[in-house]
Amino acid sequence: MKDIDKKRAANEKLTYEEMQELASHDDVSVRCLLAQREDIRPEILYYLAEDEAMEVRRHIALNPATPRQADLLLASDRDEDVRLPLTEKIAKLAPDVSEAERDKIQALTYEALMVLSRDQAIKVRQILSETLKDVDGVPGDVIRQLASDMELVVSGPVLQFSPVLSDEDLLEIISSTHAKGALNAISKRAHVSEEVSDAVISTNERSAIADLLGNRSAQIREEALDLLAERAHDIVEWHVPLVRRPKLSVNAAKRMAHYLADNLLKSLEEREDLDDAVIIGIKKEVKKRIECDGRDEELEEAEEGITDPIDEVRQLHEEGKLDEEVLIDWIDESQWQYVIAALSVLSKMRRVKVKKIISSQSAKGMMALAWRAGIPAALGESLQFKLAKMPIGNILKATQKGEYPLTDEELSWHLELFGED
């Protein structure tokens, strides 16, 4: 009798009464055969979605004819083996689902997607993410839920590939708690805007910045690239991607000549986007580096054994030659004693106070020092990074108009915090 029922469940055209009868059959294999059929009435499939046997529910999860109400029910099934095949099926329906929930079927599919995106089983969420990672038209909050997942196998695929994620979504993820490696995934996206690049750089996460530099399609501001070139002295993993960046400023190229290994220096010299004058400057820098025999150019060590430049700087000031261009050249050449002497002369403050402000790594203090010295706010921004060695995320930036971000009264007050001139 059971063999006959199996044959009926698998092959024969059934009446509604026969469907009901077989759906309640005591043989699991009969109910499994019935659950695989696509010509079964929706209410029968829904009935089987609550079957006590996992095998039956799994077939219902796989069945494309299963009504969305049953899919939603199965999205919370107690067995992972039921939810896994359901995830693959529902994910394929995602592009046809509107967040506006145009009709009941779409609403149910959307709800099932949201349930699966929060599933307790990592494998379920991973399958959903892998399936939806490069699909357009997927409900945004489903993708955002997956993108914020603390398991990288879940968040990584959509963070790197999903066209649904906006810059605002990415910035929110960068600024919040995220899975280890999430920033790397964002840095590898096909298109990374300057704003997102700035946010990644501000985290100071070295490996993510290395991936960002290595991503030729990532948009990185020239100023940010210059700052990274300055910081890369001791961060070897940045050297190769920096040299290979599509666009490299003259300042960045000159600074990199201070520390790149010989093979990378050759690559830098062979770049076609740098003019002959810059290449000659790089070669001179290399020669100077060799002659200096590796002398450290950091602020503290530069002070040892080098003649005090204060008289020379004062003379330049008296002759009206101590201008912004000279100061920038000293910064690019890491002539920190000259820079400090210049800030002291221009601001009419003792060098001990200037050094105190620099060592404090106070963004407002450094901006106040630049203001007192009468130099542009943009240069004050650069001094925070290059001279005071402040993390990118802590730097106080000039306004969009290039003005100081604080009032004169505020700037003056921050100088007073460091004592008398």
Q: Phi first, then psi: what are they for 74, rounded to 5°?
A: -70, -20
pLDDT tops 50 at residue 193: yes
Kindly provide the residue ranges of all beta strands, DSSP E only, lying in 149-247, ordered along the sequence.
none
Cβ-defined contacts of 313-316 (< 8 Å, 24+): 313/338, 313/341, 313/342, 313/345, 314/345
Confidence of residue 420 (pLDDT cuts 50, 70, 90): low
User: How many whole angstroms separate alpha carbon 342 and alpha carbon 311?
Assistant: 10
For residue 357, give the nearest of 366, 370, 348, 346 by alpha carbon: 366
Q: What pLDDT does 104 receive?
A: 58
Query: How many angstroms separate the CA atoms of 22 and 16, rounded?
Result: 10
pLDDT band at 162 (very low <50, low <70, confident <90, very high): very high
Give dist(CA 336, CA 359) in Å, integer: 13
Least confident stretch, 124-133, 150-159, 245-254: 245-254
Of 303-312, 339-348, 366-375, the range with the lowest mean pLDDT is 303-312
pLDDT, tens digit, 9 for 90 and up, residues 74-130: 998 999 999 998 998 888 776 655 444 445 557 777 888 899 999 999 999 999 999
Integer Cα distance of 5 and 18 in angstroms: 10
pLDDT above 60: residue 225: yes
Residues 19 and 34: their CA atoms lie apart, in Å, by 8
State which amino acid sits at residue 174: I
Residue 349 pLDDT grade (very low, low, confident, very high; cuts 50, 70, 90) = very high
User: Counting beta carbons within 10 angstroms of the beta carbon of residue 318, is it exposed (0 to 12), middle (13 to 18) or buried (19 or more)?
Assistant: exposed
pLDDT reported for residue 137: 81
